[in-house]
Amino acid sequence: MPGDILPAEAELAEMMQVSRITIRETMKSLSAKGMLQVRRRHGTIVLPRSHWQLFDPDVITWRAPSMTI
């Protein structure tokens, strides 16, 4: 949910059973799409949809199943 703070990289990596590098790269990608704000010593915050890059092809694809006509 917007405003939520995500767990630390190490914890997410363990939960998802992937490397910390994978988590770090994913965070960078989602941050570039306006979905997350990564702040050192404060954590990673989920941003509201109003910040998302809605015309990004990945965001369009991810949102498509939840959209109604």
DSSP for 1-67 reads -TTPEEPPHHHHHHHHTS-HHHHHHHHHHHHHTTSEEEETTTEEEEPPGGGS-TTSHHHHHHHGGG-
Q: How high does pLDDT run on average in the chain? A: 90
Q: Quick one: pLDDT at residue 68?
A: 61
The mean pLDDT of 36-51, rounded to a whole number, is 90
The full set of domain ranges for the chain reads: 5-66
Largest CA distance in the chain: 42
Best CATH choice for the domain 5-66 from the list 1.20.1730.10, 1.20.58.100, 2.30.140.10, 1.10.10.10: 1.10.10.10
**Whether the predicted pLDDT of 57 surpasses 60:** yes
Q: Quick one: pLDDT at residue 64?
A: 80
- Measured CA distances, 11 to 7, 24, 45, 59, 69 (Å): 6, 12, 15, 25, 38
